[in-house]
Amino acid sequence: MLLLGPMLRHVTPTSATVWVETASPATVEVLGRSARTFTVAGHHYALVVVRDLEPDRVIPYEVHVDGTRCWPHDSTLPPSVIRTSVDHHPVRILFGSC
């Protein structure tokens, strides 16, 4: 079960890192890449690094925890996306909020 996230932590032209917090130790999967959670002060986090993406693309994604889709919660909404960057388009500031 997802408690917090997903949140895009870092995006390059060919990779993205997705952060989540889960209710218990688990394996988290995004776009076929997976990571085990790590525990800090009783909280379970995962950083899933998705590599080999194409530059300057909009890539829809889902989050699976232990094989079960946990994000998006509501399939009637548009999917979450990763927007890969282009080397010559610098990002000045990004802000995200739950």
Q: Tens of pLDDT along 8-34?
A: 988 889 999 999 999 999 999 999 999
d(CA 56, CA 96): 20
Global confidence as pTM: 0.87
pLDDT value of position 73: 83
Q: Which two tokens stand for residue 74?
A: 């509501």
pLDDT value of position 74: 80
Residue type, 64: H
CA 61, chain centre distance (Å)? 8
Kindly report, residue by residue over 30-50, the tens digit of the pLDDT.
999 999 999 999 999 999 999
